Amino acid sequence: NDDNNNNNNKIPPKLHQRYMKLKYKLTNIQTESERIQSKEGQFSDQLTDGQKKQLERNNTKEQALLQSIQEIETEIQTHLHNNNNNNNNGKKRKQQPNRRVAKDDNDDDIDDF
């Protein structure tokens, strides 16, 4: 039963894959932006227009990715919360029929000789 409960609390593979893909993209964009910004002091005092535009695009993409990641995190939390509630309800339902069966076995009116 513990294995079954652990499986129900796992994140669905597709949802996990989407989450990891977005985190990977975010890391790449942040790395690219850091590299561009590090050039500002190394080679000249200012970035080229192309570098500035790329930083702006990266910033826009970064904000969109952060929003998407937050939405997926909420979806994951909702999924885990719903599964946890379903598991608790399922346990109660499973216990009640077992009790009835046990009472029925002990309460039969037929004497066994």
pTM over 0.75, yes/no: no
Say if CB 70 and CB 24 are below 8 A apart: no
Task: Please list, in sequence order, all residues whose beta carbon lies within 8 angstroms of the beta carbon of residue 59, skipping any fewer than 6 positions away.
Answer: 33
Say if CB 30 and CB 104 are below 8 A apart: no
Average of pLDDT values for 38-58? 87
3-state DSSP percent of the chain in helix, strand and coil, to 5: 85, 0, 15
Report the C-alpha gap between 95 and 105 in whole angstroms.
Answer: 16
pLDDT value at position 85? 79
What is the percent of the chain with per-residue pLDDT over 70, rounded to a whole number? 67
* Residue 83 burial (10 A CB sphere; 0-12, 13-18, 19+): middle
What is the percent of the chain with per-residue pLDDT over 90, rounded to a whole number? 49
Q: How confident is the model at residue 96 (pLDDT cuts 50, 70, 90)?
A: low
Report the C-alpha gap between 65 and 27 in whole angstroms.
Answer: 10
Say if CB 70 and CB 81 are below 8 A apart: no
